[in-house]
Amino acid sequence: VSEICGADSGRSLGRAPRRPVTRLVLVRHAQTAWNLEGRAQGHTDVGLDETGLAQAEALAPYVAAMAPTALWSSDLTRAQQTATVLASATGLDVRSDRRLREFDAGERAGLTTAEFADTFPEAYASWREGHITGHVPGAETVADVVARMVPALREIWESTPAGETTVVVAHGACLKVSLLAFLGWPDPLLGTLRGLDNCGWSGLEDDAHGLGIRLASYNETAHPAVHGPDFASDAPVG
């Protein structure tokens, strides 16, 4: 019995030993005052508030425990500040890529949900029905964001050595649509993914049998979730 159940039992039973798993961890930035107020941020460069800084500090030991070997971030301040806290915990340098930015929110930028509804009622109605931007004037389309985000994520994935972990800090809406495209899931499934909380993370990993990339976890957090004022319609672009 000891020979069958010992350390070499996998080989004894004809199973190949598990190979190291390569991982990509996608993190939404910590909270800003505009997140709390329900204002769409898009490319507006808003920094973290006190709660956001605390969220990033709470997240840091979890990320450090993942032993990442690379840390990437959007170039917007809220992502950079979140990534800087993670860098201090991991000893890594932050690598920036502007392709990891949030949707450009167009003329919705800076508006609360109520202001959005009053100013652009048709776009607001479309947003309530599930469209990420509601086709508000000047906003990037899903295709625009996927066209820049997915190549960036693929390059980061392909640069991650086998068996190692890379962390990417970006934004809620762009991560949601690019995750779907990165995994090759059909577009109608977008509505089945809720938005990421601030400092929520999702894990991607290569399949142990070499069958591709799979979603290992979604919207894990190291702090109590703080939802915006209109969570039923998902978080504003930010």
Q: What is the pLDDT of residues 94-114, one digit of tens each?
A: 999 999 999 999 999 999 999
Instruction: Provide the annotated active-site residues.
Output: 29, 102
Q: How far is CA 137 from CA 34, 124, 140, 235, in A?
A: 20, 12, 9, 19
Burial annotation 96-135 (CB, 10 A radius, 16+ → b, else e): ebebbbbbbbbbbbbbbbeebbeebeebbebbeeebbbbe
Q: Are 43 and 104 in contact (CB under 8 A)?
A: yes
Q: Which residues pair with 169 in a beta bridge?
A: 27, 73
CA distance 162 to 20: 7
Identify the DSSP state of 72. E
Q: Residue 159 above 50 pLDDT?
A: yes
Closest by CA to 37, choosing from 226, 233, 232, 196, is 226
pLDDT band at 89 (very low <50, low <70, confident <90, very high): very high
Q: Answer for the pair 82, 29: CB distance below 8 angstroms, yes or no.
A: yes
User: Minimal CA–CA distance to 73: which of 54, 101, 43, 31?
Assistant: 101
pLDDT at 2 over 80: no
Confidence at residue 83, expressed as pLDDT on a 0 to 100 scale? 98
Mean pLDDT of the chain: 88
- In this prediction, residue 173 carries a pLDDT of 95
